[in-house]
Structure 1
Amino acid sequence: MKQLLFLIIFLFIFINSLKSQVTLTANGPGDTYELINSVMAPGYNVVEVPDCNHVSFGRHVDEIFDATLNKNVFRFFIHTANDNDRCINFDRQRNEIKSYDKSPENLKGIEGEKVIYKWKMKIDANFQASPNFTHLHQLKSVGGSFDATPMYTLTARKGNPDQLELRQTSTNNQQTKKKIDLSLIKGIWVEFTEQIEYGINSYYSLEIRRVDNQNVVFEYENTAIDNWQSGAEFVRPKWGIYRSLINVQDLRDEEVLFADFSIQEVSTLSLDDLKVNNQIIKTYPNPARKTIQIKGDIKDHFNHIYIYNVLGKLIDKKQKNFKDTLDVSNLKTGSYFFIFKNDDKIISKNTVIIQ
């Protein structure tokens, strides 16, 4: 029992101390697209720009030195004339970077996972927003019935006064959760911290803080919100400027600055969950192939199974919808920790899978 207790304590400390973080930081003029792709999807292309219809301008994302931050930053261009949505849509304009299916796994949000997104942004003091939409950030599902509609959107909108809106949906009908006067972030650098636990009835928060004096200009938190769209494979973040051209007379050429992108995965299980009873559950065979047999008097008392790889990454979460056999045919060959959890009971089993 002491060995089991040591294993569980070590596993939970290890998982919670391990945070997978990816950063994207400007390093100076030249090769900007290549830099972005090397971080967001090595060997592929995550830069969605209007270059195809505006070749004479050149690249629509570059890097410049910013005196306020005293470092290099990314500059996103958008023009009322010539720019469109990748020569696909002509009633809107898109200049964004993203993660997507070719990105590393730790850049994709999956159900049961907690992620912290951070970045800095500066829009001009005379920035003009569309009355339709001017998206600056999105969390967008891939796969499922609702992947055409972003789950979260941060958008600027012309009004009286102009607004910055946080919009959300778990289906295809976005609702505004909070909005502020856009003038609160015009002409200054602000830092965004967005925290989300992907799943139903989960956690979400967004804080926007001025860089110069650290004053918070926007706060939103919800501890019981649906952060998953049915059938989604994963969720990807997007940053840039994506705006409607329906009311082009309200717009002007813009330069939006971004800096210090960060994507950080954090385990959703914590040491607060660690309450171990002297109870036994057995899994076999080990190594296993395709299925695992579960044996023990208390096996029916666990209704969630969390599956972690040896790096502490949550690979899968299963509901208790089996009797004695657990299907693991979706797992690749490797070593995994199976966490059996229900209320105050947690048991960990280490199993090798061979496919």
Structure 2
Amino acid sequence: MKHLILFYFLSILSIFHLKAQVTLTADGEGNTYELINSVLAPNYNVVEVPDCNHTSFGRHIDELFDNDLNKNVFRFYIHTSNDNDRCIKFDRQRNEIKAYDKSPNNLLGIQGERVIYKWKMKIDVSFQASPNFTHLHQLKSVGGNYSSIPMYTLTARKGTPDKLELRQTSTNDQETLKKINLSLIKGHWVEITEDITYGTNSNYSLKIERIDTKTLLFEYENSNIDNWQNGAEFVRPKWGIYRSLINVADLRDEEVLFADFSIEEVTSLSIIDSKKTNNNIQISPNPVRETIIFNQESLEHFNTIYIYNVLGKLIDKKLTIRKNKIDVSNLKTGSYFFVLKQDKKIVSRNTVIIN
């Protein structure tokens, strides 16, 4: 029976890409910060808001029912006075949500991994952008020499006319990849799809579609671009409004709406891949109940473990192995497929039985 299950699982892998998707959807008034944290970093805080200096206003992210989408959405407030950057920096303002090192591993982008980010957004028809920066989304590295500057940024900028810009860098010098007239998205719900393979000479694309008319407003794709900053541990997404106060006279109080955040890991595994690798890393015991042990010598051969169930669903991803052991007590009884990678390369596949 176990051999039949494994054969069935390998057949699935030979045809489909395996996906793990996390979604964050507004569910109505109240407990908005708690909802966001429960998805992006359970028991921790991913909400970066200017509440500390503007307590009289209350929470700067809430939820409301939107008649155009016919569903609940998130509302991000930012005010020209009182609001700042977490009472740390006062020449800028930040109201953002993010993934970070306390987030589940499947929300963190690592080298060799493909991730699709999707979300809906609406800025007001009278939205005013700074001539310096008004970021609405970022992909930002953690660790390495260039972690202070976002690798990708979707930003609004005042000009003649105002623009929405997609900017990128793999070092510390951003360039504009593409820009459109900001008026194309003002006052309309748009859906944004960002598809990235993390690594050098890799694929990146971003599309923006107006939801009511299905009009494609923005499209950029590059199959040979550097999507990794040297020394990075992982990449995290950020959404919200983060703007400069240097030219505050150009700004006004804003309400930016977001809905239906999605982070989808796409891990391509196939029988072709398996023919190129050997199950040369032994684990014990197997079957196992709580703790898997690796030979100390094998640890240098891999740095990431992907755990799939027999239906091909990505259950967990482990970036670090402490004392050559990993805890699997959270897994239910059954058979699992462990895929061990060294950066992009699959070095071993192991079937593990949890009892």
Partner in structure 1 of residue 306 of structure 2? 308
Change (3 A) 1:332 1:131: same
Unaligned runs of 5+ residues in structure 2 are 285-293, 329-336
1:174-217 Cα distance to aligned partner (Å, 9 max, x none): 11111000001000000000001111111110000000011100
Contact 1:113 1:314 in 2 (8 A): no
TM-superposed CA distance for 1:38, in Å, is 0.9
Which whole-Å CA distance do the structure 1 matches of 2:17 and 2:210 have between them? 29
TM-superposed CA distance for 1:130, in Å, is 0.2
Runs of 4 or more consecutive aligned structure 1 residues displaced over 6 Å after TM superposition: 303-306, 327-331, 339-343
TM-superposed CA distance for 1:349, in Å, is 4.0
Partner in structure 2 of residue 245 of structure 1? 245
Which whole-Å CA distance do the structure 2 matches of 1:218 and 1:258 have between them? 18
Which whole-Å CA distance do the structure 2 matches of 1:202 and 1:315 have between them? 23
Partner in structure 2 of residue 128 of structure 1? 128
Which whole-Å CA distance do the structure 2 matches of 1:25 and 1:102 have between them? 20
Name the stretch that deviates more: 260-269 or 165-174: 260-269
Residues matched between the structures, number: 327
Change (3 A) 1:161 1:12: same
Partner in structure 1 of residue 298 of structure 2? 292
Contact 2:111 2:344 in 1 (8 A): no
Name the stretch that deviates more: 180-189 or 12-21: 12-21
Which whole-Å CA distance do the structure 2 matches of 1:38 and 1:75 have between them? 18
SS of equivalent residue, structure 1 residue 292: helix
Contact 1:157 1:165 in 2 (8 A): yes
RMSD: 3.3
Contact 1:46 1:98 in 2 (8 A): yes
Contact 1:93 1:245 in 2 (8 A): yes
TM-superposed CA distance for 1:58, in Å, is 0.9
Percentage identity across paired residues of the two chains: 65
TM-score, length of structure 2 as denominator length? 0.82
Matched, 1:81 2:81: yes
SS of equivalent residue, structure 1 residue 125: coil
1:83-102 Cα distance to aligned partner (Å, 9 max, x none): 10011000000000111111
What are the residue-to-residue correspondences of 1:50-69 with 2, within 5 Å? 50-69=50-69
TM-score, length of structure 1 as denominator length? 0.82
Out of 268, 278, 283, the position equivalent to 2:280 is: 283
1:145-201 Cα distance to aligned partner (Å, 9 max, x none): 110000000000000110000000111111111100000100000000000111111
Which whole-Å CA distance do the structure 1 matches of 2:201 and 2:218 have between them? 23
Change (3 A) 1:282 1:32: closer
Contact 1:292 1:328 in 2 (8 A): no
Change (3 A) 1:331 1:247: farther
